[in-house]
Structure formats: structure tokens, C-alpha cells
Amino acid sequence: MGRITILTIGSRGDIQPFCAIALGLIQSGHQVTLAGSPNFAGFAAHWNIPFAPIAGDFKQLLSSPTGLELLEGNRVKLIPEELLWQQLLDAWNACQGSDLIVFSPLALWGYHLAEALKVPAILATQIPIAATRTFPFLDFTERTDQRLPGLANLLSYHLVGFLGWRSNAKLINRFRQDVLHLPQLPWAGARYRRDAPPFLSPLTIVNCYSAAAIAPPPDWGPAVHQAGYCFLNTADSFTPSPELQAFWDEEPKPFYVGFGSMIPRHPEWLAQTIVSALAATGQRAVLCSGWGSVSTDLPPSIYRLEEAPHDWLFPRVSAAIHHGGSGTVAAALRAGIPSIVAPFFGDQPTWGNLLVQLGVCPATHRQSELTSDRLAASIRTILEDSSFQERAQQLQVQLQAEDGVAKVVSIIESHLQH
């Protein structure tokens, strides 16, 4: 049995799949520490997962002026150097005594910690991050128009990796030298080093999403594994209030509306847009405010919740209106319901486009460009065209045949044996 540290920072969607992996490892007899953003210490405690905080309140970061710019799709640096240095120190302390480190794309510095400890590491990701000629970085929808030739697709991953490295290269190299007592990496980053330790070369990558959503490209090597979605079963932990249960007993079946950890700059405007679209289509909804805040008075046809587990909510709604975060996309596919996506930034627009291609979403509407008329049109399309529901149920059957957590645990255990 091994001592495993999982490094992941970010929002709820970034943390929850790693809680599922942690539980899978614990149930297999391993000692696990989940090191993550302090916002989720209580969440980890609920599942009895040992937790170590890594500096950075992500709710506060995302609600800051810089965070709001990021959520609007602008290129900004969310984590200042002083905070990044503290995150590295916190993660280094959490990893002491580890036999293996699992880290997320937002915690790529786990690579350096594993090198210093001389232990294997696994990059577990909810988006395709391994270089491929099939599609460019953060555009993993099926390529049919060949807008980018294969070499350009491949180079997009190298370019993103290079730019990400250079943005913090001086600080990381100083940390490697002063704290980890490792040599500095070359100017172009770890990809181009000639002295990579054998236990990190090549770096093992595990894709924590379903092949039914994104098929593995043929040019991924044996170091890239396809596991499937890693679901945390949270439905039994939620008990609806009598008021919510009464709302659920009415007709028609409501829509779900929620944007998770996204914080809109103008939440009241967004709420009014949604209220108007639902009114125009005669639909009811459950509105989950998440990390956003909505103080608008809502009609009786809309029930406001701060949050509730997706695996409890989604099987009870007719469709989900959401931001296109990877975790919400996974939950909607698992529940077999259609989606309408209003993305904010990052990978969200691509997930929305992918759901359109999969036939479970009529359209995506950038959150900043959403109007009540556009949203109402998409709602009507789902209500009038049964193919969206049928296709969602077909994909649900495919996901039910997968066990992403078990696959990740198996991959981790195979590396512990080396």
C-alpha cells in the first residue's frame, strides 16, 4: 500500500473528481492526502479525506477585479508570484513522505516536487492536455474542416506549454534551487531537458473524461491513459427541504439553471435574462446560485438554491442550462439530459461546442452575449425536438459502462509497484 498525495487547486469542479479518486484509493487501502484550496477543507472532511490546505481562496480570487476579467475571457494572471510561492511551499510540505504524487493541470508544479522526492508522478486531467495532431489545444471538438493541419495542432500544445512555463519560470527555477535543491530547468522548460529522471520520463497522463465524449487520438503514446469520468456519488448526502420537495411535485418538470463557481460581473442582468426566457417559454426552473449571487426577486416558477449535488438534481430536471464546466458537462451526460451552454472562459466554449456535436445541446451562447430571445429559442428547441433527449440517454448508457475511478486507481497502483 502506498502513501499518495493529490495536488489540485481551483473551484469545485477542479476538486470534486479528485475527491472521488482519493476515496477510491483509500478504499483500496492506500494512505491519501488531498492537498487543495482551503475553500474545500470542509468538503473533504465530509468524506473523511485527509486534507492539507494550499494557499489561495479561489472564491475570493475569482471575485476580484482580475478574476472577473479572467472569467470574461481576458488573458490575465490570476495568481501573483507571492501567492504562487506560498502554494509551492504548502504543496511541498504536504508531499513529504509520499510514494507517489497525483497532480492536476492547475498544479503542474507537482512535477518538480516529485522530482525532488524521487517518486513517480501522474498528471490527471479533465481536458485533453497531451499533444496530438488530431485537434489543437482547447479545441477538442471533432475536426472536420481541417482548419489547422496536423503539425499546427501539435505545435499548439508545445506553444501553450512554453508560454505557461515562461510566465513563472524564474520563480519556479528559484524554488527548485533554493527549496528543492534541484538544478534549474532550461529556458524552454522541462520538455526540452536532457536529464529528466526516468521515473518522470515520459510523464504519465490520465484523462479523466469519457471516450464517448472525446475519443483518444491515434497518436497518443502508451504514457497517455483513458480512464473515464471520476464521479463522486453525493446524492445520498442531500435531503431536500419540504419547500423544495413541494416544488418538485408540481408540473412541468423544471429546468436546471446554474453556473457553478463562475461569478458574473452583472449577476442581476443575467438572472433577469434567464427569468424572461423561462417566462416566455412557460417553463419552471431550479436556480443554483453557486459562487455567484442573485438578489433579484424570482417568480414562484423559479426555486432558488445555493447549491445541491448534481447527481441528485440532474436526474430530476428536463434539461440543464449551465456554463459548460467539465464537471457539469460530465454530470449532465451521466444523468442523460440535454444541455444549453452559456460559457464564460477557458475550456467551457469548447465543451459547449462538443455537446452540440454530440447532439445533446441545441446551441451555445457566450454568457456575455446571452439574450432572453436566444435562450428561449434554445429552450423551445429542446422541448420540441426529442432527439436531444434520446441522444443524451444513449450517451448515458455508454457512461454507465465505465468506471473512471477504478481505472485511475489501477493506473496509480501499477506505478507504485515499480
| Helix/strand number for the chain, H first, E second | 15, 12
Report which residue type is found at 306.
Answer: E
Instruction: Quote the CA–CA distance of 413 and 25 in Å, as a whole number.
Output: 9
Q: Could you give all domains of the chain from N- to C-terminal order, each with its CATH number?
A: 3-229+403-416 (3.40.50.2000), 235-400 (3.40.50.2000)
- What is the rounded CA–CA span in Å between residue 258 and residue 60? 19
Q: What is the mean pLDDT of the chain?
A: 91
Residue 260's pLDDT is what?
Answer: 77
Give the pLDDT confidence score for residue 169 in this predicted structure.
95
Amino acid in the structure at residue 395: L
Spatial separation of the C-alpha atoms in residues 338 and 391, rounded to whole Å: 8
pLDDT of residue 11: 86
Residue 319: CB atoms within 10 Å: 28
To which H or E segment does residue 5 belong? Answer: strand 3-8
By CB atoms closer than 10 A (0-12, 13-18, 19+), residue 57 is middle
What pLDDT, on the 0 to 100 scale, is given for residue 316? 94
Question: Please, are residues 329 and 355 in contact by the beta-carbon 8 Å criterion?
Answer: yes
Contact of 6 with 21, CB cutoff 8 Å = yes
Which pLDDT score is estimated for 295? 57
What local confidence, expressed as pLDDT, does residue 143 receive? 58
CA–CA gap between residue 225 and residue 204 (Å, rounded): 8
The pTM for the full model equals 0.94
Q: Express each pLDDT in 284-318 by its tens digit.
A: 999 987 666 665 678 899 998 888 889 999 999 99
Spatial strand order in the sheet of 224-226: 51-53, 31-36, 3-8, 100-103, 121-125, 204-207, 224-226
Residue-wise pLDDT tens digits, 63-114: 888 888 888 878 888 899 999 999 999 999 999 999 999 999 999 999 999 9
Select from 235, 232, 335, 236 the least CA-distant residue to 17.
232
Q: What pLDDT was estimated at residue 48?
A: 96
271 burial via Cβ count (<10 Å: 0-12, 13-18, 19+): buried
pLDDT along the chain (418 residues), means of 10: 94 92 97 95 94 93 85 85 96 97 96 97 97 90 63 90 93 97 92 88 96 94 96 89 91 90 77 92 89 72 88 95 94 97 91 96 91 96 97 96 96 86
Predicted confidence at residue 399, as pLDDT, reads 95
SS3 3: strand
Crossing angle between the packed helical segments 372-384 and 267-281, to the nearest 10 degrees: 40
